[in-house]
C-alpha cells in the first residue's frame, strides 16, 4: 500500500500544477499518513479506517460525506468495492479510472490498462499518470514521487546515529531484509549471504529494516552472517514507527533488499536502490527509474526465465516460496558489486544521468522497433528507411552480406546494421526480431515501405495496443505498375506485432508471422508498398529460384509430387488468379503475373517429383 500511496501522490502533484487554486483531497488508509506528511499539494486527507469496513452504517456515512463535498473530478486509482461506491454516490461530473470489465458504467472516462512499460520511469508510474490523460493537462508532467523530511527530523536521525556510535565517515546502507509477506521475502539464508557480500565489498555501517513482530526472522538473518559482517551491523537501530523509518532512511546512503514499501520510500527520498524481486512480482511494474547505476534490480526471470515464462501471476504467487531458492545470490554477485562500487565512490556524482520527465514526455507512445532483412537492396532501401522516420523508435537492419551500397544507405539513416548469414527467409526474420530492444515490432523487407495512410494508422496504435498483432494490405508494384487484382491485392500481411506473440513460420521462401492467438488480431488502414520486380526477365529468374527453394522445402517436410499435381495445380493457380481474382483487369501485366503463377507452381512440383524419383 505504501508504494501505491506514494506513486498516487503524482496525481495530486500534477493536478496542483494544472489547477493551482483547486481543492485537492486525497483518500487514503489512515496508516499511510506518515508517508504523506509535508506534501503541500494536498488540501485534505480523507481517511479510510477500520470502522468503515466493519460497519455498514459508518461506511455509508463516509461515502455520503464525500457526496456533500460536490467534487467536480474524481480519479479512482484503486478500483475496488469501497471506491466504486464512493464514485457512484459522489455525483462528480468527471469520473476517471482504469478500463476494466463490468465497471465502465461507473466512470465518464475509462483509461486502457497497459501491461508493458513505455520507458524506464516504470510501469506503475506510467499507469497512474495515464489517469490524467483524459484531462489533457497543459503542463510538464512530474514523474518522480517525493518524500519530505524536516530539519528537525534530520537532527533526530543525526542524534540517533551518535547514540549508537556510528562512524559518520563511513557510508551507511539500509538492508531491507524481510518483505511484507513470506512470498515477498528472499530466503533468509540467502539474504545473509547478500549482507555478507555487501560487507566484503565495502566498509560501511549496515542497518536492518524490520518491524518488532519480525524480530525472530531478523535475528536469523543476523545469526547466519559472518562474524566480520556482524561487527558492521547495528541490529537494534531502527525506527519505532513508519515516520521514524523515513527519517532514518533519509540519513542512509542507499538501500538493498526485498521489494517493499521501504524501497519505494527510499527512492522518494532520492536514495539509490538495489532490489531483489519475488518470482511472482512483475519486475517491469516496480523497477522504477532503473538505470543500472543508481537503481538496479534482479529477478528470477533474468537468470532462469524458463521457470517464469508461460505461468500466470496466480500460479507464480502460489509457488513463489518454492521458486525463490532458484534465485541464488551467486547469480547476481557481480551486479551487486557494480552497484556498490558506483554508489560508494566519492568521485561519483550521485545524480541520475537521465531526465525522467523528458523520457516520459518522449514516450507518450510505446517505443517501436522496426526490423528489416536485406540483401543488395540499394534500389528500394532508402524509400523503406525514409518511411520509418517518425514512426519507429529503433531501426535494425539484418543484412545477408550485401555487395552493393546497402550498408552505406543504412549509415545515412543511423540504423543498427547487423550482418548475419542467410539460412532462409523464415530463419532470418526470426533472428531479426530477436535483435529488437523494444517489445513491439514492425517487420519489413528492404523493398517495402509504409504509405502515408499506413504510417498514420500505426501512430494511432502506438499509444495503446488492443491486439497482439495488426495486419495491413500490401500493394505490389510490378514492372512500374501497381497491381490491384489477382492474388496480389489485397495481399494481407501481418507485420506489426508484440514481441513473443508468435513467430515467423511457413515454407521458404513464403513466410508469414503466425500469432499464438488469432483472436487478438487488429487491422491497419493504408497500404504496405512493395516493389517486387523491375522487369519481366527478373520475374522469370525469380520463378526459377523460388520454385527450387520451395521444392526442397517441401521435400524436407516429406511432401510428395505426382502427375496429378504437376498437371492440375498449375492450371488451378492460373484460373483462380486470372479469372476468379480478376487478374485480367490489370491488363498485359496482369496476364504475365498469372502466367508466372502457373510456371512457379508447375516447376515446383516437377522439381519436387525429381527429388523423390531421380531415376525416372
Banded pLDDT at 352 (limits 50, 70, 90): low
Banded pLDDT at 255 (limits 50, 70, 90): very high
**Residue 65: pLDDT above 80?**
yes
- The pLDDT, as a whole number, for residue 118 is 84
Banded pLDDT at 574 (limits 50, 70, 90): very high
- The pLDDT, as a whole number, for residue 506 is 82
Class at the top of the CATH hierarchy for domain 2-135? alpha beta
What share of residues in the chain are helix, strand, coil (percent, to 5)? 45, 20, 35
Secondary structure (3-state) at 472:
strand
CATH code 3.40.50.2000 region(s) in the chain: 2-135, 151-356
Q: What is the mean pLDDT of residues 194-214?
A: 95
**Separation of alpha carbons 109 and 89, rounded Å:** 17
Best CA proximity match to 124, nearest among 280, 11, 48: 11
Banded pLDDT at 518 (limits 50, 70, 90): low
- In the chain, what is the straight-line distance between the N-terminal and C-terminal CA atoms, in Å? 77
- The pLDDT, as a whole number, for residue 354 is 63
Q: For residue 509, is the peptide bond before it cis, meaning its omega torsion is within 30 degrees of 0? A: yes
Total-model pTM: 0.73
Percent pLDDT > 70 in the chain is 98
CATH code 3.90.550.10 region(s) in the chain: 365-532
User: Could you tell me if 271 and 293 are in contact, meaning their C-beta atoms sit under 8 angstroms apart?
Assistant: no
- The pLDDT, as a whole number, for residue 488 is 85
- The pLDDT, as a whole number, for residue 215 is 95
- The pLDDT, as a whole number, for residue 359 is 75
- The pLDDT, as a whole number, for residue 557 is 87
- The pLDDT, as a whole number, for residue 516 is 79
Banded pLDDT at 519 (limits 50, 70, 90): low
Tens-place pLDDT, residues 468-499: 899 999 999 988 899 998 888 888 999 999 88
- Give the CATH H-level superfamily of domain 151-356: Glycogen Phosphorylase B; (3.40.50.2000)
Q: What is the mean pLDDT of residues 296-307?
A: 94
Tens-place pLDDT, residues 315-339: 999 999 999 999 999 999 999 999 9
- The pLDDT, as a whole number, for residue 77 is 93
User: Could you tell me if 551 and 608 are in contact, meaning their C-beta atoms sit under 8 angstroms apart?
Assistant: yes
**Residue 252: pLDDT above 90?**
yes
**Residue 381: pLDDT above 80?**
yes
- The pLDDT, as a whole number, for residue 347 is 57
CATH placement of domain 365-532 = 3.90.550.10
Strand segments, DSSP code E, in 43-182 are: 44-48, 73-75, 94-98, 109-111, 172-176
Least confident of 237-241, 308-312, 346-350, 456-460: 346-350
Q: For residue 490, is the peptide bond before it cis, meaning its omega torsion is within 30 degrees of 0? A: yes
User: Could you tell me if 362 and 337 are in contact, meaning their C-beta atoms sit under 8 angstroms apart?
Assistant: no
Best CA proximity match to 587, nearest among 490, 480, 475, 448: 480
Looking at per-residue confidence, does 228 or 510 come out higher? 228
Amino acid at each position: 500500500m505504501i508504494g501505491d500511496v506514494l506513486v498516487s501522490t503524482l496525481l495530486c502533484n500534477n493536478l496542483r500544477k494544472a489547477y493551482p487554486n483547486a481543492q485537492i483531497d486525497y483518500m487514503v488508509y489512515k496508516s499511510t499518513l506518515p508517508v504523506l506528511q509535508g506534501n503541500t499539494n494536498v488540501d485534505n486527507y480523507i481517511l479510510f479506517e477500520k470502522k468503515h469496513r466493519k460497519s455498514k452504517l459508518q461506511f455509508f456515512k463516509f461515502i455520503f460525506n464525500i457526496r456533500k463535498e460536490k467534487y467536480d473530478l474524481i480519479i479512482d486509482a484503486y478500483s475496488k468495492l469501497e471506491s466504486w461506491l464512493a464514485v457512484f454516490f459522489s455525483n462528480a461530473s468527471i469520473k476517471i479510472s482504469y478500463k476494466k470489465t463490468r465497471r465502465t458504467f461507473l466512470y465518464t472516462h475509462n483509461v486502457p490498462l497497459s501491461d508493458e512499460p513505455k520507458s524506464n520511469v516504470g510501469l506503475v508510474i506510467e499507469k497512474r499518470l495515464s489517469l490524467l490523460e483524459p484531462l489533457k493537462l497543459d503542463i510538464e508532467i512530474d514523474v518522480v514521487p517525493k518524500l519530505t523530511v524536516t530539519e528537525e527530523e534530520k537532527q533526530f536521525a543525526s542524534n540517533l546515529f551518535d547514540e549508537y556510535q556510528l562512524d559518520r565517515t563511513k557510508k551507511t546502507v539500509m538492508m531491507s531484509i524481510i518483505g511484507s509477506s513470506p512470498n515477498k521475502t528472499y530466503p533468509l539464508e540467502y539474504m545473509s549471504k547478500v549482507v555478507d557480500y555487501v560487507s566484503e565489498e565495502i566498509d560501511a555501517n549496515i542497518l536492518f529494516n524490520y518491524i518488532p513482530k519480525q524480530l525472530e526472522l531478523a535475528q536469523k538473518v543476523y545469526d547466519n552472517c559472518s562474524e566480520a559482517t556482524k561487527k558492521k551491523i547495528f541490529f537494534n537501530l531502527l525506527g519505532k514507527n513508519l515516520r521514524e523509518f523515513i527519517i532514518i532512511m533519509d540519513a542512509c546512503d542507499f538501500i538493498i533488499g526485498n521489494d517493499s514499501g521501504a524501497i519505494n520510500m527510499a527512492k522518494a527520498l532520492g536514495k539509490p536502490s538495489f532490489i531483489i524481486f519475488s518470482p511472482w512480482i512483475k519486475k517491469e511494474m516496480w523497477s522504477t527509474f532503473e538505470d543500472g547505476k543508481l537503481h538496479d534490480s534482479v529477478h528470477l526471470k533474468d537468470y532462469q526465465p524458463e521457470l517464469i515464462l508461460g505461468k500466470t501471476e496466480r500460479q507464480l504467487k502460489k509457488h513463489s516460496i518454492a521458486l525463490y531458492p532458484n534465485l541464488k545470490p551467486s547469480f547476481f554477485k557481480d551486479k551487486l558489486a557494480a552497484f556498490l562500487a558506483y554508489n560508494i565512490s566519492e568521485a561519483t556524482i550521485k545524480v541520475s544521468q537521465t531526465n525522467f520527465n523528458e523520457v516520459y514526455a518522449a514516450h507518450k507512445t510505446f517505443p517501436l522497433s522496426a526490423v528489416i532483412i536485406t540483401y543488395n537492396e540499394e534500389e528500394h532501401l532508402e524509400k523503406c528507411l525514409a518511411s520509418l522516420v517518425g514512426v519507429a523508435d529503433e531501426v535494425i537492419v539484418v543484412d545477408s552480406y550485401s555487395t552493393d551500397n546497402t550498408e552505406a544507405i543504412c549509415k545515412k539513416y543511423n540504423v543498427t546494421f547487423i550482418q548475419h548469414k542467410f539460412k532462409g527467409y523464415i530463419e532470418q526474420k526470426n533472428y531479426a526480431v530477436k535483435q529488437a530492444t523494444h517489445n513491439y515490432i514492425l517487420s519489413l523487407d528492404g523493398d517495402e515501405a509504409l504509405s502515408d495512410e499506413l504510417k498514420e494508422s500505426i501512430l494511432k496504435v502506438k499509444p495503446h495496443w488492443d491486439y497482439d498483432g495488426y495486419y495491413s494490405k500490401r500493394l505490389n508494384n510490378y514492372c512500374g505498375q501497381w497491381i490491384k487484382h489477382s492474388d496480389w491485392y489485397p495481399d494481407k500481411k501481418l507485420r506489426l506485432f508484440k514481441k513473443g506473440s508468435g513467430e515467423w513460420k511457413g515454407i521458404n521462401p513464403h513466410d508469414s508471422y503466425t500469432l499464438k492467438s488469432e483472436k487478438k488480431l487488429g487491422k491497419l488502414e493504408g497500404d504496405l508498398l512493395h516493389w517486387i520486380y523491375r522487369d519481366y526477365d527478373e520475374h522469370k529468374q525469380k520463378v526459377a529460384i523460388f520454385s527450387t527453394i520451395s521444392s526442397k522445402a517441401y521435400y524436407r517436410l516429406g511432401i510428395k509430387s505426382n502427375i496429378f499435381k504437376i498437371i492440375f495445380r498449375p492450371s488451378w493457380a492460373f484460373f483462380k488468379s486470372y479469372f476468379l481474382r480478376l487478374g485480367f483487369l490489370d491488363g498485359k501485366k496482369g496476364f504475365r503475373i498469372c502466367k508466372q503463377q502457373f510456371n512457379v507452381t508447375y516447376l515446383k512440383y516437377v522439381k519436387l517429383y525429381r527429388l523423390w524419383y531421380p531415376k525416372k
